[in-house]
Amino acid sequence: MSVVITLWAGVLLQAQQLTVLGNYAPVLPLATSELAVVSIGKEGINKKFLSTLSEYASLTNFQITEKSDSSDYRKIANDLKSFKRVVISVTGETVDVRFHRKFLNSLDLPAPVVYVIFSTERMLNLLEEPLEKAAAVVVTYKLTNDLQKEAADVLFGKASASGKLSETIGYLFRKDDGVELLAGSSDGLVPEDYGLKSYILNRRIDELIDKSLQDTVFPGGQILILKDGVRVYNKCFGTHSMTDLTPVRSTDIYDVGEITQTNATLLAIMKLYDSGLLRLDDKISTYLPALRSTNKKDVTIRELLYNESGVIPYLRFYQQLVDDETVQGPFFQGFVDKWHYTRVGHFTYACSDFKFKKGYISTQPSKTYTLQMGDNMWLRSDFKNTVLQTIGRTEMTDKRYISSSIGFILLQYVVEAITKMPMDAYLDREFYQPMGLTRTLFRPLQRIDKSQIIPTANNEYLRRQDIHGYVLDEAAACLGGVAGNAGLFSNVTEIAEIYTMLLNKGEYKGNRYLKDSTCELFMTSRSQRSHRGLGFDRPNIHNVNNWLANNCAVSTPEEVFGHTGFTGTCVWADPVNKLIYVFLSNRVSPNIWNDKIIQKRVREEIQDIIYESMK
């Protein structure tokens, strides 16, 4: 069922006679068989509007006049709750809308509310507060039969609209605002159908993203929000980079950073656990003989997944590639000189003129050089063994929570030792290909055109080239772009598909990929030492207000699981509300030290908006 409230408007437009504002979700064109209209004003004055609407849907009309009182308002407000679409019509020239403004302000309906306005600009200002809760506003300036019919036709996609406002209306709409609405059909689905308010979800996220683009928080990105498996918000925004002004498309892929840990490495671990090929309390030295005589010999799979193994969090493997004799002074320093002019942080500069040790790097691939780090940059294949040996020689820390890239690199080595194949090949075989994921992969330049891969960063200090199609993380680069901690590329759609499979307890599109008991274990387990889950990050419910210790919004339920990525990404799944939220950006483009997304907590604020829209 649906409800319509109509307002009759005066001279607002210069050329066009009909303008659509807002249209969040989008709610227009309407696709409904039952519609409610609340007509405010002289009875019968909007007869043509109502009769045209009745051609497209079963219509229930509620009339409000100057004689209506509080009991009438209460009854109408209660009756409207049973409708799925509401349109409000106010004939401003026949009634003083100020008498009804309190009623309109108080409406809190589960349905999206569409206003059709035939009145003066003054009327729009008077209705500013209720219009703030509108999913869409249709504005025309004359009360004629032709315009009444056209307004009704626009609501149901039988006519187009492309008008613009001639001047700013309060704080809601600016001069030249106007959504182009083309005639055509709609799938009819809006966030309200799934318990979210589109005027909060869509408008506030759109406003936040627009401001973030203006503040150069990131060049562009993708956002996808699924509720009950349905897309309630799905938008691309901005451009590929600050210099490549190609608009971001839904098929473009991003370096997702540490989301690799859940959408790649953890999946492989879960599959091996599921198949009985490893246990969570197995020692990693069981599978990695090189660690049996080291201080890592007793580290377990479970400890690595919880990020509390005591393994050092990060190592600069590439330092073993650099010829120290060619480095003038330290490799990093806090000021510019003739040797250090590549900026890598707010106050940090890397040595820009150095050479690699002979025999480690080649400009061409061969049997010896198989690990590609960048354009015309290939690393010796045996360096992968060097990485493991280097990890084995490092000191251990306390067994407390600290996010560890090295821990997930070790998990990758475990996966490859058990499966006897590269981790990316194993994931392709077990998950990506059977699930139909064509845009989730490591080393994307091997399969996807560069124009469909979002640039990551400019002039990376190690490879001394722009990073576009190669993993940003240096440790992952030293492993040829396939690593347990980073290296995966994907888009919001396919990241969400993997998390949909997890929320469905291992089943996706009729096929089973993991046992439901395996998914339940990994999705619900929480460390006794920290907020972390088995491979997943989780809300820090014991320290919700410390943003340095919490990657989630304060409003996030404790059951949520997911991960963030250094490149400006996140994915969170909420099993209680059957909600998935994915955000991708390249916030490190062009400057790797751009941390505005962290300081402004853009990803977390979007998450807050989602839960606010569900109240």
Instruction: Using the predicted structure, report yes or no on whether residue 547 has a pLDDT greater than 80.
Output: no
Top pLDDT among 5 and 336 is at 336
Check residue 135 and report its DSSP letter.
S
pLDDT band at 184 (very low <50, low <70, confident <90, very high): confident
Tokens of 187: 């799938």
Structure confidence at residue 13 (pLDDT): 38
Q: What is the arithmetic mean of pLDDT over 427-454?
A: 98
Of 506, 310, 320, residue with least CA distance to 406? 310
Instruction: Using the predicted structure, report yes or no on whether residue 14 has a pLDDT greater than 60.
Output: no
Structure confidence at residue 170 (pLDDT): 81
> Does residue 499 contact residue 571 with C-beta atoms inside 8 Å?
yes
Give the range among 16-20, 103-107, 471-475, 558-562 with minimum mean pLDDT: 16-20
Structure confidence at residue 15 (pLDDT): 35
Top pLDDT among 99 and 510 is at 510
Return the SS3 of 175: coil
Of 482, 487, 488, 516, residue with least CA distance to 502? 516
> Does residue 444 contact residue 437 with C-beta atoms inside 8 Å?
no
pLDDT band at 71 (very low <50, low <70, confident <90, very high): very high
Q: What is the arithmetic mean of pLDDT over 354-381?
A: 97
Q: Tens digit of pLDDT for each residue in 587-600? A: 999 999 999 999 99
Convert 146-155 to b/e letters by CB count within 10 Å (16 or more is b).
ebbbbbbbbb
> Percent of the chain beyond pLDDT 90?
82
Instruction: Using the predicted structure, report yes or no on whether residue 5 has a pLDDT greater than 90.
Output: no
Structure confidence at residue 352 (pLDDT): 86
Structure confidence at residue 9 (pLDDT): 40
Of 568, 538, 269, 584, residue with least CA distance to 409? 269
Of 220, 215, 161, 212, residue with least CA distance to 22? 161
Tokens of 174: 């600016």
Structure confidence at residue 77 (pLDDT): 95
40: left (phi over 0), alpha (psi -120 to 50) or beta: beta
> Percent of the chain beyond pLDDT 70?
95
Measured CA to CA, the distance from residue 142 to residue 135 in angstroms comes to 22
3-state DSSP of 421-460? CCHHHHHHHHHHCCCCCCCCEECHHHCCCHHHECCCEEEE
Q: What is the arithmetic mean of pLDDT over 574-599?
A: 96
Structure confidence at residue 198 (pLDDT): 93
Return the SS3 of 198: helix
Return the SS3 of 513: coil
> Does residue 43 contact residue 78 with C-beta atoms inside 8 Å?
no
Of 145, 69, 81, residue with least CA distance to 113? 81
Tokens of 498: 């993997």
Q: Tens digit of pLDDT for each residue in 216-238? A: 999 999 999 999 999 999 999 99
pTM: 0.92
Of 109, 56, 54, 118, residue with least CA distance to 85? 109
Tell me how far CA of residue 199 lies from CA of 20, 21, 67, 83, 421, in angstroms.
15, 12, 31, 17, 50
Q: What is the arithmetic mean of pLDDT over 329-335?
A: 94
Structure confidence at residue 542 (pLDDT): 75
pLDDT band at 549 (very low <50, low <70, confident <90, very high): low
**Within 13 Å and on the Cβ side, how many CA atoms surround 553?**
20
Determine the residue type at 602.
Answer: V
The rounded mean pLDDT for the chain is 93
Question: What ranges in 127-176 are assigned the alpha helix state H?
Answer: 128-131, 145-155
Top pLDDT among 244 and 189 is at 244
Partners of 300 in beta bridges: 283
